[in-house]
Amino acid sequence: MSWANIVNNKLRSALTMLGIVIGVASIIALITIVQGATGAITDEISSLGANILTVQARGTPLKPGLSANDLDRLEAIADVRGVSPTISGYVSVSHRDKVLEAMVQGKNELYFRERPVQISAGRAINALDVDGANRVAVIGSDIARELFYGQNPLGRSLRIGGSTYTVVGLLAPSGGFALGSTNKAVFIPYTAAMKTLGVRTVSSVEVHMADVARADEIIGQVEAVLLESFNYREQAYSIFNMQDALDVMKDVTRILSLLLAGIASISLVVGGIGIMNMMLVSVTERTTEIGLRKALGAEPVQIQIQFLTESVILSLGGGLAGIVMGLLIACAGSWFIGIPFRFSATTVIAAVGFSAVVGVLFGWMPARKASRLNPIDALRHV
Amino acid sequence: MQEILRLKDIVKCYRLGGQEQVVLDNVNLTICRGDFIAILGPSGAGKSTLMNIIGCLDVPTGGRYILGGRDVAAMTEAQLARVRNREIGFVFQSFQLLPRLNALENVELPLIYAGLPRRRRRELALAVLERVGLQDKVYNYPNQLSGGQQQRVAIARSLVTDPALILADEPTGALDQKTGQQIMALFQELNADGRTVVVITHDAQVAGYARKILRIVDGRLFPGEVDLAGQREHIDVLG
Instruction: Give B100→chain A minimum CA distance, Å.
Output: 8
Pairing of strands A163-171, A119-122: antiparallel
- Interface size between A and B, measured as CB pairs under 8 A: 56
Residue ranges of chain B with pLDDT lower than 70?
A: 225-239
pLDDT reported for residue B225: 63
A7 near B CB under 8 A: no
Contact call for residues B210 and B200 (beta carbons, < 8 A): no
For the stretch B214-217, contacts whose Cβ atoms lie closer than 8 Å and that sit 24 or more positions apart, written own/partner, are B214/B29, B214/B37, B214/B38, B214/B39, B214/B40, B215/B39, B215/B40, B215/B41, B216/B39, B216/B40, B216/B41, B216/B45, B216/B46, B216/B47, B216/B50, B217/B41, B217/B42, B217/B45
Enumerate the β-bridge partners of residue A105. Answer: A88, A187
Among the residues of chain A, which ranges form H helices? Answer: 2-8, 10-49, 68-75, 109-114, 127-132, 141-147, 190-196, 215-229, 242-285, 287-295, 300-337, 345-371, 375-380
Enumerate the β-bridge partners of residue B167. Answer: B90, B198
Q: Residue A232's Cα: distance from chain center in Å?
A: 38
Name chain B contacts of A293, Cβ cutoff 8 Å.
109, 113
Distances from the Cα of A232 to the Cα of A59, A131, A217, A330, B212, angstroms: 11, 30, 19, 52, 116
DSSP A213: G
A376 near B CB under 8 A: yes
Question: Taking each helix axis from N to C terminus, what angle separates A287-295 and A242-285, rounded to the nearest 10 degrees?
Answer: 80
Note which residues in 55-114 of chain B have CB less than 8 A from chain A: 55, 57-58, 77-78, 81-82, 84-86, 90, 92, 94, 96, 98, 100-101, 109-110, 113-114
- Give A168-195 pLDDT, tens digit per residue: 999 988 765 545 678 888 999 999 999 9
Distance (Å, rounded) from C-alpha A335 to C-alpha A328? 11
pLDDT reported for residue A116: 67
List the Cα angle A183/A189/A194 in 5-degree steps: 110
Smallest Cβ–Cβ distance between B110 and the set A296, A301, A376 belongs to A296
A292 near B CB under 8 A: yes
Name chain A contacts of B109, Cβ cutoff 8 Å.
293, 296
List the Cα angle B168/B169/B172 in 5-degree steps: 90
B141 near A CB under 8 A: no
Instruction: Give B19→chain A minimum CA distance, Å.
Output: 21
Instruction: Give A319→chain B minimum CA distance, Å.
Output: 27
List the Cα angle B171/A292/A276 in 5-degree steps: 150
A286 near B CB under 8 A: no
Contact call for residues A86 and A205 (beta carbons, < 8 A): yes
Smallest Cβ–Cβ distance between A376 and the set B52, B96, B101 belongs to B52
Q: Determine whether the interchain pair B81/A8 forms a contact, defined as Cβ–Cβ distance below 8 Å.
A: no
Give Cβ neighbours of residue B205 (< 8 Å, ≥ 6 apart): B230, B231, B232
What tens-digit pLDDT sequence spans chain A (382 residues)? Answer: 667 777 767 888 888 888 889 888 988 888 888 888 888 877 777 776 778 888 888 888 888 888 888 888 898 888 888 899 999 889 999 998 889 998 899 999 988 887 767 888 899 999 999 999 999 999 998 899 999 988 899 999 999 988 999 999 999 887 655 456 788 889 999 999 999 998 888 889 989 888 878 888 888 889 888 888 888 888 888 888 877 777 888 888 888 888 888 888 888 888 888 888 888 888 888 888 888 999 999 999 999 999 999 899 989 999 999 999 999 999 998 888 888 888 888 888 888 888 888 889 899 999 998 898 888 877 775 4
Q: Which among A143, A147, A132 has a CA at the least distance from the CA of A195?
A: A132
Alpha-carbon torsion (B167, B169, B173, B175), positive or negative:
negative
Smallest Cβ–Cβ distance between B81 and the set A4, A288, A297 belongs to A297
> Domain spans of chain A?
2-44+247-380, 80-205
pLDDT reported for residue B239: 34
Helix (H, G, I), strand (E, B) or coil at B158: helix
Smallest Cβ–Cβ distance between A8 and the set B90, B94, B100 belongs to B100
- Give A263-286 pLDDT, tens digit per residue: 888 888 888 888 888 888 888 888
Instruction: Give A15→chain B minimum CA distance, Å.
Output: 22
Q: Determine whether the interchain pair A300/B77 forms a contact, defined as Cβ–Cβ distance below 8 Å.
A: yes
| Chain A residue nearest residue B89, CA to CA | A296
Q: Determine whether the interchain pair A296/B57 forms a contact, defined as Cβ–Cβ distance below 8 Å.
A: no
Distance (Å, rounded) from C-alpha A37 to C-alpha A249? 11
Name chain A contacts of B55, Cβ cutoff 8 Å.
295
Name chain A contacts of B92, Cβ cutoff 8 Å.
379
A101 near B CB under 8 A: no
| Chain A residue nearest residue B48, CA to CA | A376
pLDDT reported for residue B236: 41
